Structure 1
Amino acid sequence: MRFLLIEDNADLAKAVIECLALDGHAIDHAADLVSAQACMDVASYDLILLDIMLPDGDGRDFLAQHREAANRTPVIVLTARSQVSDRVGMLDLGADDYLTKPFDFSELEARIRAVLRRQGGVANNTRTVGEVVLDSTNGTLRIGGDTLALRNRELRLLEVFFASPEQIFSKSHLMDRLFSFEEEVSENAIEVYIARLRRKLEGANVKIETVRGLGYRLLVDA
């Protein structure tokens, strides 16, 4: 999945990016609100991680404008403010969750999973299509009695397909979901990941179909 991190502390931003990249997520970093808006003008995000005290303004104003524009992208606020009234105020503005600095990265990862679950309308970190179960927490596929390990980018790509079975995704859309602005990769990378996933799905009643000229979709064999 692709996240936008709005954080002016370079050391913290670097640590967050490295942590989430290990899980296969793509992270764009903006050190101020102007850069954040520029990112949002050209890319869509699955989640926003938002600092409050920024060089060119208050993250709460960004959050308020974000919700007033009917943007439903979930937002987790990263804040040094620990007063209950501050946290309540951010939730009332439309934040989906918050973390008080300093925070443990394992808690950040868990809160991200929880927010994305709620956004997707699911109760846990597993999704089932046909006879195949995708476990995002453990990074595995279960097909019948077999459990297959997934590499991080394989997992993130399957999450896109499992969230919307039968929907056609173009290569450019999948690129946008998997890679940040900083990563220089071609659309051939998607073909490589699709080929790997097809091998892992062999024998299951679920397949990734190529729709010529349009992209790919996940189908259950009748």
Structure 2
Amino acid sequence: MKLLLIEDDPTMQATLQRAFERRGMQVVACGDGTRALDRWRASAPDVVVLDLSLPGMDGLQVLQQARAQGHKTPVLILTARGTVGDRVLGLNTGADDYLPKPFDLDELEARVKALARRVGSPAEARREFCGMSCDEESGAIYFKDEVMELPPREAALLRALLARPGHAVAKERLFELVFPGEHEVQYEAIEVVVYRLRKKLADTGAQLVTLRGLGYLLKAQAST
């Protein structure tokens, strides 16, 4: 699932981005209302999480313009403006859901996934590559409809690569997803996880390729 997070508070933005990414989502973050529509168009998100108090352009104005331009992406407003009047205004402007701050991260995740399900399809929930697929609801990884028994770090790495098969994923990005918040871990540790996962993919038909200076990608093994 691809998520556009529009939140101007740097601490809140970083916290939410880490939380969503740990749950296997791809996050594009933006902290400026005037740039939000450009990010919206460029990232083509599945769900937008929108704060209302933004510099440059208020969140309601962003939402109003997005709807006027034909963007139908589900939007969850996440804001400190929590009165009934504020909620009604947000929903009437085009929001699909509204969660006031402070909030529970598990509830936020559940609401985001519920919005994605409204417009998604079963095929989108389980994208397949070389017989492998990742269930976005549970985070479980399957190979030929059997759950793959992987340690948490190998699973996090594989989920990130399965989200973009055939495309390079930066080493730095993978490190953040595999070792979230573990600042004491050496950067080279990601190479150990790659090595272990590569061996476990040997019989799947998928190949984990190292691209020097770019990162890693998954591709189908060449047939012999």
TM over 0.5: yes
Question: What residue is the counterpart of 1:138 in the other structure?
Answer: 138
Question: What residue is the counterpart of 2:48 in the other structure?
Answer: 48
Question: What residue is the counterpart of 2:158 in the other structure?
Answer: 154
Question: What residue is the counterpart of 1:89 in the other structure?
Answer: 89
Distance between the aligned counterparts of 2:94 and 2:149, measured in 1? 38
Residue 103 of structure 1 aligns to a residue whose secondary structure is coil
Higher relative contact order at CA 8 Å, sep ≥6: structure 1 or structure 2? 1
1:43-82 superposed matches below 5 A: 43-82=43-82
Residue 98 of structure 2 aligns to a residue whose secondary structure is strand
Q: Do the aligned residues in 2 keep the contact of 1:198 with 1:207 (CA within 8 Å)?
A: no
Runs of 5+ consecutive residues of structure 2 not aligned to the other structure:
174-195, 208-217
Question: What residue is the counterpart of 1:192 in the other structure?
Answer: none
Q: Do the aligned residues in 1 keep the contact of 2:52 with 2:58 (CA within 8 Å)?
A: yes
Measured at CA, do residues 91 and 156 of structure 1 come closer, stay the same or move farther in structure 2, by a change above 3 Å? Answer: farther
Distance between the aligned counterparts of 2:112 and 2:97, measured in 1? 9
Runs of 5+ consecutive residues of structure 1 not aligned to the other structure:
162-168, 180-195, 209-215
Question: What residue is the counterpart of 1:113 in the other structure?
Answer: 113
* Per-residue deviation, 1:198: 9.9
* Per-residue deviation, 1:50: 0.7
Letter in 2 for 1:111: R
Q: Do the aligned residues in 2 keep the contact of 1:148 with 1:200 (CA within 8 Å)?
A: no
* Per-residue deviation, 1:98: 1.8
Distance between the aligned counterparts of 2:138 and 2:21, measured in 1? 16
Distance between the aligned counterparts of 2:197 and 2:38, measured in 1? 34
Q: Do the aligned residues in 2 keep the contact of 1:63 with 1:95 (CA within 8 Å)?
A: yes
Question: What residue is the counterpart of 1:164 in the other structure?
Answer: none
Letter in 1 for 2:26: A
Measured at CA, do residues 134 and 42 of structure 1 come closer, stay the same or move farther in structure 2, by a change above 3 Å? Answer: closer
Greater fraction of residues in strand: 1
Distance between the aligned counterparts of 2:137 and 2:100, measured in 1? 23
Residue 78 of structure 2 aligns to a residue whose secondary structure is strand
The count of corresponding residues between Structure 1 and Structure 2 is: 191
Distance between the aligned counterparts of 1:38 and 1:145, measured in 2? 41
Deviations 1:27-66 (A, max 9, x none): 2322221232342354332222111111223211111111
Measured at CA, do residues 67 and 200 of structure 1 come closer, stay the same or move farther in structure 2, by a change above 3 Å? Answer: farther
Distance between the aligned counterparts of 2:133 and 2:88, measured in 1? 37
- TM-score scaled by structure 1? 0.63
- TM-score scaled by structure 2? 0.62
1:155-170 superposed matches below 5 A: 155=159, 158=162
Distance between the aligned counterparts of 1:207 and 1:8, measured in 2? 40
Letter in 2 for 1:48: V
